[in-house]
Amino acid sequence: MQITLTPTAVSTVEKFLEDHGAGDDSGLRVAVLPGGCSGFQYGLNIEDEPEGDDEVFTLSGIRVFVDPFSAQYLQGIEIDYVTGMMGSGFAFRNPNAAGGCGCGSSFTV
């Protein structure tokens, strides 16, 4: 599975892991969930350990957990952390998305 975290996303996730008091088994869960205005939405969460059926890999020193349902929609995605006049947050560039909405965290396939 190919997921990319930009350097800005990496440093932000590292701070979240530190704030969470993350241990050696902790990591970033990247998920696709039904919902949002376009049908699917992204989910990011710091978790203490992976689930039994997760794909687990390391990106720039960060453990990443992806469940089987989400994996089919995340191939090739780039996750960035952006700051602008409207606020800051994670941004997703997904080559599998056929469309999306203005919020940037909801997409269709």
**Domain with 37 in it: what CATH number?**
2.60.300.12
Strand partners, 42: 32
Residue 68 covered by a domain: yes
The pLDDT, as a whole number, for residue 104 is: 54
The pLDDT, as a whole number, for residue 3 is: 95
In the chain, alpha helices (H): 7-20, 68-74
Distance, CA of 106 to CA of 13 (rounded, Å): 21
pLDDT along the chain (109 residues), means of 10: 95 93 91 79 93 95 96 93 88 78 55
Residue 38 covered by a domain: yes
The pLDDT, as a whole number, for residue 44 is: 94
Residue 106 covered by a domain: no
The pLDDT, as a whole number, for residue 38 is: 66
Judge whether 90 and 81 are in contact, CB under 8 Å.
Answer: yes
Q: Which residue has the tokens 């902790």?
A: 26
Number of domains in the chain: 1
Q: What is the pTM of this model?
A: 0.85
